[in-house]
Structure formats: C-alpha cells, structure tokens
Amino acid sequence: MKIVITDINMPELDGVQMVSTIFDSNPETRVVMITAHSDRQNIKKITSLGMNVELVFKPVDFENLFASIDRCIAAHSW
C-alpha cells in the first residue's frame, strides 16, 4: 500500500494533476491532500478524484492529519 501526502498547490504540477497521474498507474494508492482553499471549486476538483483521497485543511491540525492517514491504512484490503 502507498500513501501520498501532498498539497494541492505546487510550482510545476498541481496536486490534482499529480494525483490523477498516480491513480492512472496505481489506482490503489491512498492520498491525503492538504489545502488552504476551502472554496467549492477546489473541493469539487479534489473529491472528483475518487474515494482514495482524504482532505486536510490548513492550518494543519496534526490530529486530523494523523486521523486521515489512519483512515487510509484502514481502507486498505490486506
């Protein structure tokens, strides 16, 4: 199982594009997407990626981040 933790905003490739590329080659990957943008358009873009994406808002509350990672691990079929 792979878990990717990324921000939605990056200099070259945004997080949504990156995650789409990752899912194309490895659809079982779990993703924790971090964002400071809680507007509807960004949330829709992120949730359109599918069930393997957890969303964490900035400023990051580490308890929420760790809970998201735990959900990713729990969702994996061993």
| Rounded CA Rg of the chain | 12
Query: Quick one: which of 58, 11, 49 has its CA closest to 30?
Result: 49
pLDDT at site 65: 97
Domains of the chain: 3-75 (3.40.50.2300)
Reading the block at residue 60, the tokens are 């990051």
Q: What is the pLDDT of residues 19-76, one digit of tens each?
A: 888 888 998 899 998 988 777 777 777 777 776 888 899 999 999 999 999 999 998 7
pLDDT at site 77: 65
Of residues 78 and 23, more confidently modeled: 23
* Segment 14-22 mean pLDDT: 85
Of residues 5 and 46, more confidently modeled: 5
Count Cα atoms within 13 angstroms, Cβ side, for 28: 8
Measure the CA–CA gap between 77 and 12, rounded to whole angstroms. Answer: 33
Q: How confident is the model at residue 15 (pLDDT cuts 50, 70, 90)?
A: confident
